[in-house]
Amino acid sequence: MATRCLCFATIMLTASILVLEISAQLECGGNLIGIKTQCSSFIQKEGKTIPPSESCCAALKGANISCYCKYVTPVVENMVSIEKALYVAKTCQAQNIPTDKCGSYIIPHPPSSKA
Ligand SMILES: *[C@@H]1O[C@H](CO)[C@@H](O)[C@H](O)[C@H]1NC(C)=O
């Protein structure tokens, strides 16, 4: 049955994303569940760029952004705006924000950091 196969594929995809998220969380720190629940409205593709909330920043505390960027796959890029995510990370003063690229997103102008 085609529907059953599709359903199975969806479960596998969801499961592999979950595994990816768990390993990202363990390796890169921060609170990924919190990031997903508290920051999603600030990093979604639609809508204006708005400053992140305190709870979003709290979830990002201790997260290594460069490290998370390693986990930015086309699937992730489809769901979130990397540009906004980097803006949120910067606003929250998260650690290790990359200056060149994140996933396939090329960061236009390196923020004035001590190079
Ligand atoms: C952040 O992640 C990068 C890439 O995985 C790693 O090279 C770096 O050492 C990490 N920095 C910290 C402070 O954990």
Q: Tell me if 72 sits within 8 A of 82, measured CB to CB.
A: yes
Give the tens place of pLDDT for each residue, 2-50: 667 788 888 888 898 888 889 999 999 999 999 999 999 999 999 999 9
Instruction: Answer yes or no: pTM beyond 0.85.
Output: no
List pocket residues of ligand 1, CB cut-off 6 Å.
64, 66-67, 70, 95-96
State in words which class domain 2-106 has: mainly alpha
> Tens digit of pLDDT for each residue in 61-91?
999 999 999 999 998 899 899 999 999 999 9
Phi-psi region of 33 (alpha: psi -120 to 50; beta: other; left: phi over 0): alpha
Q: What is the pLDDT of residue 2?
A: 62
Q: Count helices and strands (H / E) in the chain.
A: 6, 2
Nearest CA to ligand 1 atom 12: 64
Q: Are 65 and 97 in contact (CB under 8 A)?
A: yes
How many A from CA of 66 to the centre of ligand 1?
Answer: 7
State the chain's mean pLDDT as an integer.
Answer: 90
Residue 110 predicted with pLDDT over 60: no
Q: Whose CA is nearest to atom 6 of ligand 1?
A: 67
